[in-house]
Amino acid sequence: MLYDPELSYKLDLHNLHYNLCIVLSFQMPGPHLLLVVVAVCLIKTASGFANGKVSPACGDMTPQHGHDSSSKPAPYNITLDKPTFSPGDHITVTLRVVPTSGSISFKGFLIEARDAGNPDGPAVGSFSLLNPSESQLLHCGHTQGSAVSHTSKSKKTEIQAVWEAPKNPPSGVQFMATVVQKYKVYWVQIPGPVVSLNGATRVPPPNPTPTTTTTAVVTTTLSALTRPFSSEGCGRSKSCLRDPVGCDPGRDPLCFFLSFTPEARTVLFELSGPAHGYLSFALSLDKWMGNDDVYLCVRDGDSVDINAAYVSGRAHPQLASENVLSDTAWQLADGVIQCRFRRDILLPRQIESRFSLDQSYFLFIAHGRAEDGVIYRHDRQPLISTHQTVITGLPENLAGSRSPLLIKFHGVFMLVAWMTTVTTGVIIARYFKHDWPETRLFGRRLWFQVHRALMTLTVLLTCVGFSLPFIYRGGWSRHAGSHPYLGCTVMALSFIQNQLCCILRSFHRRYIFNWMHLGTGTIARVLAVVAIFLGIQQQALLLPGPWSTGVLAGCVVWGVLVDLLLEFHSKVVIVSRFKKIVLAVFLVGNVGFLSVLLNTIRNV
């Protein structure tokens, strides 16, 4: 397989495309104020580009890009520095842009030498490099270094390499090159000169043959949409999956819309949504991406390619080898991709990896960027229907979510624990200790019982919330950035804090316990807040921004302001009633902020 030198599939290692710098103030007992400044800086996305290691393509020299080789004359040629050779001789091979073609650079290439009498045979001879920064040797056949390919996607106008003739060469050798200008534009086996072995009968070059190969692309006739998309008929004559719920693609440019209408032997699909590169939907037997029947609407310049594909495991979609779509049409307007097509309900058995449409499936809608027809990893968590539906069944309005239920509960538990219960518990212990000196509950002072209950609840909520992503993922998430590391640290500090209370609370040097208790708790609170800010930017629980980030910041600032107000008044004589009013006002505001965030999570 000759992979795209620009990008065959880009994977986001971290989906953290924003800068977060937050200052949290936590009050020490006494006159001192501890200012904790936490800066969470941009983590840049790491991208995977093709590296030119295309040994699987040595045989036919054909890139598996899902498109045909260009039928236009190749704007590149191969030149040699000598017409004949002897065993062990060196010949300089140059691949360059044809001067009359203008400045048409290329990004990928594969150069081989073949027996002129058997051009479909294995590569002969070996190469050495003259441009090691832009070219590399490949192992084709039984000879190391028998081919040369690119090392990066950088634009090139000329590449040179030195070919060494084998000890037992054929009587004639022809040089060939496959050149990739961009993902969908390439030429396969561009013929170069034939060099003859000294003393042997000159071998004429073989008759040129078409190099166009059959590839896994669905060939369709595209046309403009003859009627606009609309949500009219959803639930009555067609089934619809929409985000936001109830949106109309004819009126709302931010509406993600999928509808399907069963007909006699076919199903009419309509897909619409804002996307810079591609829009797709999939039929799946479960709520995990992988082993799914996929349909892609990929923007390529000013047009849209509509293809059927199949995803095996977590790999890149493989385009269908058979044309299974008909009556395809598309439209591009104001950043919105719309496409419409039909597919037979039942397909012949020889067409692999296509699901029958008379069965029940979960529906996925995903979108992302594309470049030269190549799709990148989706920008957001896909919209997934809440239940399976029969494609040819009765029309219905389908509900969907971009966030799994377990991840939603994870966010809820962590918000309640670290935005409400822990903050309230700290305020009770810090400012109400002396207001209830003799009031007791179950034999212990009231303030201590309330503080301990709130902190115990915090640890329990953290433990449950911490376990949910691991249950959902079945292991560690590789694409969550620093969020899970911070979460593990907070979980560890919560246990340490609990053990400190059990072990050192009766320690005779009380000030050591006080400082350790304060320090561990403060660090845990700071890291928890940072983890939550990162968490609401994760694909699995991406809250709408920037207002949701503002609400979360408001919740944090609200707690800090109350803390500062109570600290200031603790320096003067203050009646207990005032502090109770402040506590009540804090709880009302905190619950208000929290309710907005929890409702947002519910609707994601």
Between 403 and 43, residue with greater pLDDT: 403
Query: What pLDDT is recorded for position 575?
Result: 56
Round the average pLDDT of the chain to a whole number and report it: 81
pTM of structure: 0.61
Query: What pLDDT is recorded for position 351?
Result: 66
- Average of pLDDT values for 293-301? 90
Q: Give the whole-angstrom CA distance, residue 189 versus residue 114.
A: 11
Query: What pLDDT is recorded for position 19?
Result: 35
pLDDT digits (tens, 9 = 90+) for 278-294: 999 999 999 887 889 99
β strands within 89-201, DSSP E: 90-97, 108-115, 118-123, 126-129, 135-140, 143-150, 158-164, 172-182, 185-197
Query: In 3D, which of 252, 209, 211 has the Cα closest to residue 230?
Result: 252
Query: What pLDDT is recorded for position 98?
Result: 86
**Least confident window among 240-249, 310-319, 571-580:** 571-580
- Average of pLDDT values for 456-467? 94
Handedness of CA 243, 247, 251, 257 (dihedral sign): positive
Query: In 3D, which of 520, 472, 518 has the Cα closest to residue 495?
Result: 520
Q: Contact, 541 vs 604, CB < 8 A?
A: yes
Between 505 and 428, residue with greater pLDDT: 428
Query: What pLDDT is recorded for position 503?
Result: 64
- Contact partners, residue 179, CB within 8 Å, separation at least 6: 74, 76, 95, 106, 108, 109, 186, 187, 190
Confidence of residue 70 (pLDDT cuts 50, 70, 90): confident
Query: What pLDDT is recorded for position 353?
Result: 66
Query: In 3D, which of 240, 244, 269, 268 has the Cα closest to residue 256?
Result: 244
Between 153 and 461, residue with greater pLDDT: 461
Query: What pLDDT is recorded for position 227?
Result: 72
- Average of pLDDT values for 340-349? 89
Q: What is the token pair recorded at 578?
A: 């005032």
Confidence of residue 317 (pLDDT cuts 50, 70, 90): confident
Q: Is the peptide bond prior to 206 cis by the omega test (within 30 degrees of 0)? A: no
Query: What pLDDT is recorded for position 589?
Result: 95
Query: What pLDDT is recorded for position 516?
Result: 81
pLDDT digits (tens, 9 = 90+) for 185-244: 889 999 999 999 987 765 555 554 444 333 333 333 445 566 788 999 999 999 999 998
Query: What pLDDT is recorded for position 595?
Result: 95
pLDDT digits (tens, 9 = 90+) for 360-405: 999 999 999 887 777 888 878 899 999 999 999 999 999 999 888 8
Confidence of residue 574 (pLDDT cuts 50, 70, 90): low
- Average of pLDDT values for 452-480? 89
Q: Give the whole-angstrom CA distance, residue 241 versus residue 502.
A: 53
Residue 34 has pLDDT above 50, yes or no: no
Query: What pLDDT is recorded for position 289?
Result: 79
> Which one-letter DSSP state was computed for residue 602?
H
Query: In 3D, which of 425, 441, 435 has the Cα closest to residue 577?
Result: 435
- Percent with pLDDT over 90 in the chain: 45
β strands within 471-522, DSSP E: none
- Average of pLDDT values for 460-467? 94
- Average of pLDDT values for 410-423? 94
Residue 119 has pLDDT above 60, yes or no: yes
Query: What pLDDT is recorded for position 15?
Result: 34
Query: What pLDDT is recorded for position 50?
Result: 56
Residue 81 has pLDDT above 60, yes or no: yes
pLDDT digits (tens, 9 = 90+) for 575-590: 567 888 899 999 999 9
Interior angle at CA 492, CA 486 and CA 498, nearest 5: 135
Query: What pLDDT is recorded for position 61?
Result: 87
Residue 509 has pLDDT above 80, yes or no: no
- Percent with pLDDT over 70 in the chain: 82
Query: What pLDDT is recorded for position 109?
Result: 93
Query: What pLDDT is recorded for position 129?
Result: 93
Q: CB 17: neighbour CB atoms within 10 A?
A: 12
Between 504 and 343, residue with greater pLDDT: 343
Query: What pLDDT is recorded for position 173?
Result: 94
Interior angle at CA 182, CA 176 and CA 187, nearest 5: 25
Helix, strand or coil, per DSSP, at residue 412? helix
pLDDT digits (tens, 9 = 90+) for 544-562: 878 999 999 999 999 999 9
Query: What pLDDT is recorded for position 183?
Result: 80
Confidence of residue 592 (pLDDT cuts 50, 70, 90): very high
Confidence of residue 6 (pLDDT cuts 50, 70, 90): very low
Between 112 and 40, residue with greater pLDDT: 112
